[in-house]
Amino acid sequence: MDKKKENISKEAIVAEYLTGSISYRGLETKYGIPSRTICDWVLGFQGRKPSWKDKKQRNLEIKGKELEPELPKYVVDPEKAYNVLITNIKMRIIYFKEHAYIAR
């Protein structure tokens, strides 16, 4: 069955699961929605859905590594950041001159 044809909402599917009468796979069969999607809806409703950063942290912990803080490449060296910026601007200017863009 197609969820759109039945016009049923996420909330109704989550409520049906939380009543305990049907499993994720049963709901998948009934509505044609992947069980993983339904699981994500339920976890989101319960406030237990992990963010992508939490998932990444957990995977690294399982592998025995620590999550390194994410910093932009050029934060450490402002002079290098300036040089990269100037180079990008120059490359764009050259590109636009070579292709002679005309506003229409």
pLDDT, one tens digit per residue, over 56-65 is 888 888 777 6
In this structure, the answer to whether residues 54 and 80 fall within a common structural domain is no
**Using 50, 70 and 90 to split pLDDT, how confident is the model at 101?**
low
Give phi and psi for 31, each to the nearest 5: -110, -10
For the chain, the domain total comes to: 2
As a whole number of angstroms, the distance between CA 15 and CA 42 comes to 9
In this structure, the answer to whether residues 51 and 94 fall within a common structural domain is no
Closest CA to 13 of 85, 34, 101: 34
In this structure, the answer to whether residues 59 and 19 fall within a common structural domain is yes
**In this predicted model, what pLDDT tens digit does every residue of 25-34 receive, in sequence order?**
999 999 999 9
SS3 56: helix
pLDDT of residue 32: 92
Identify whether the C-beta of residue 26 lies closer than 8 Å to the C-beta of residue 13: no
Across residues 49-58, what is the average pLDDT?
82
pLDDT of residue 73: 57
In this structure, the answer to whether residues 76 and 96 fall within a common structural domain is yes
What's the Cα-to-Cα distance from 11 to each of 2, 18, 19, 59, 94, rounded to whole Å? 16, 10, 12, 30, 54
12 versus 52: the higher-pLDDT residue is 12
Identify whether the C-beta of residue 36 lies closer than 8 Å to the C-beta of residue 28: no
**Using 50, 70 and 90 to split pLDDT, how confident is the model at 37?**
very high
Which domain, by its residues, includes 35?
Answer: 3-63
Identify whether the C-beta of residue 54 lies closer than 8 Å to the C-beta of residue 67: no
In this structure, the answer to whether residues 10 and 50 fall within a common structural domain is yes
pLDDT of residue 51: 82
